[in-house]
Amino acid sequence: MKITVLGSGTSHGVPVIGCDCEVCRSADPRDKRTRSSVLIEHGETVVLVDTGTDFRFQALRAGIRRLDAVLMTHAHADHLHGLDDTRSLTHAKPLPVYGSQDTLSEIRDRFDYVFTKTQIGGGKPNLLLQDHRGDRIGIGGLTITPVPVKHGDLTIFGYRIGNFAYITDCSGIPRESFELLEGVKILIINALRYRSHATHFTVEQAIEASKKIGAREVWLTHLCHDVSHKKLTEELNLRNSDTSRILPSYDGLEIIVDM
Ligand SMILES: [Zn+2]
Ligand SMILES: [Zn+2]
Ligand SMILES: [Zn+2]
């Protein structure tokens, strides 16, 4: 299975509009972060996690030609508002969009035109909303386990496939969800910045959660402009060992997961 990090940035993206900080002015391509999303490919099966604001650009950059399904983590703008741009990938058949009941109801509200009957040629994505109810999902050859996590007061979803898991916008992992994550070896998890935040893990909190899960390869995502890719890599490498490592992810990163 191949995981491609389509976007590794927080809701603003990096650079932030109007900001002149060192990271926003950085020439390092790994400091250019579009909104968080990953693509999962296994054999013929192609699954996207979230349709962020940068989805169109990310799909063109990654050469996405088809999708079997979308998994939604939650309905915040930076994870959802590129949904309309799945349109060209829904001509052949409706695209299943999996999420919690809350997320799907937000999708129905914000994209009401998609679900309202209009004239032919109206140019809308053909979407099939699927409430996963927290139950396992089968897509192609993949079995996907939704993992509830806290995002401030909200309960949102990460997703586990085999020994890989993707968790974004998390500020707390309930005990039962740690159980769902037992045995995960390769983990992408959010770390907004060094300073604390009400609805996101810091770098330290993400490291702590990763250790508790026992993952041996950890990539941080949903990073903001407080974080320089080079500096954080250097800091983390001082703590990394041959058997476990934590590093900042970046747009375009590809991770191979043995299945
Ligand atoms: Zn977010
Ligand atoms: Zn900045
Ligand atoms: Zn969010």
CATH for 150: 3.60.15.10
Distance 241 CA to ligand 3 centre (A): 31
Average pLDDT of span 66-80:
98
Distance 169 CA to ligand 3 centre (A): 5
Instruction: Assign 120 a pLDDT band (cuts: 50, 70, 90).
Output: confident
- Give percent helix, percent strand, percent coil of the chain, each to the nearest 5: 25, 30, 45
Ligand number nearest to the C-alpha of 74: 3
Q: Which of 16, 228, 104 is nearest to 96 (CA)?
A: 104
Ligand number nearest to the C-alpha of 154: 3
Distance 9 CA to ligand 2 centre (A): 12
Distance 44 CA to ligand 3 centre (A): 30
Ligand number nearest to the C-alpha of 221: 1
Q: How far is CA 188 from CA 24, 60, 101, 194, 220, in A?
A: 23, 23, 24, 17, 6
Cα–Cα distance measured from residue 115 to residue 124, given in angstroms and rounded to the nearest whole number: 9
| pTM of the predicted structure, to 2 decimals | 0.97
Average pLDDT of span 72-87:
98
Cα–Cα distance measured from residue 144 to residue 44, given in angstroms and rounded to the nearest whole number: 16
For residue 136, the enclosing domain spans 2-256
Q: How far is CA 12 from CA 52, 58, 112, 148, in A?
A: 11, 16, 25, 24
Average pLDDT of span 158-162:
98
Distance 154 CA to ligand 2 centre (A): 27
Instruction: Assign 118 a pLDDT band (cuts: 50, 70, 90).
Output: confident
CA end-to-end distance (rounded Å), the chain: 7
Q: Which residue type, as a one-letter code, is found at position 1? A: M
Hey, is 135 helix, strand or coil? coil
Number of separate domains in the chain: 1
Cα–Cα distance measured from residue 253 to residue 179, given in angstroms and rounded to the nearest whole number: 28
Cα–Cα distance measured from residue 217 to residue 237, given in angstroms and rounded to the nearest whole number: 12
Distance 10 CA to ligand 3 centre (A): 9
Distance 47 CA to ligand 1 centre (A): 19
Ligand number nearest to the C-alpha of 21: 2
Distance 73 CA to ligand 2 centre (A): 26
pLDDT digits (tens, 9 = 90+) for 170-223: 999 999 999 999 999 999 999 999 999 999 999 999 999 999 999 999 999 999
Distance 74 CA to ligand 3 centre (A): 7
Distance 36 CA to ligand 1 centre (A): 7
Structure tokens at 183: 């045995």
Cα–Cα distance measured from residue 146 to residue 165, given in angstroms and rounded to the nearest whole number: 10
Q: E strands, 59-205, where?
A: 69-71, 95-99, 127-131, 137-139, 142-151, 154-161, 164-167, 186-190
CB 95 within 8 A of CB 86: yes
Token pair 């995502």 is found at 221
Instruction: Assign 251 a pLDDT band (cuts: 50, 70, 90).
Output: very high
Structure tokens at 171: 């500020």
Distance 148 CA to ligand 3 centre (A): 14
Ligand number nearest to the C-alpha of 155: 3
φ, ψ dihedrals at 101, nearest 5°? -60, -40
Distance 130 CA to ligand 1 centre (A): 21
Ligand number nearest to the C-alpha of 25: 2
Ligand number nearest to the C-alpha of 150: 3
Cα–Cα distance measured from residue 212 to residue 210, given in angstroms and rounded to the nearest whole number: 5
Q: How far is CA 258 from CA 109, 115, 142, 153, in A?
A: 39, 39, 13, 35
Residues 86-108: b if buried by 16+ CB within 10 A, e if exposed: bbebbeeeebbbbbbeebbebbe
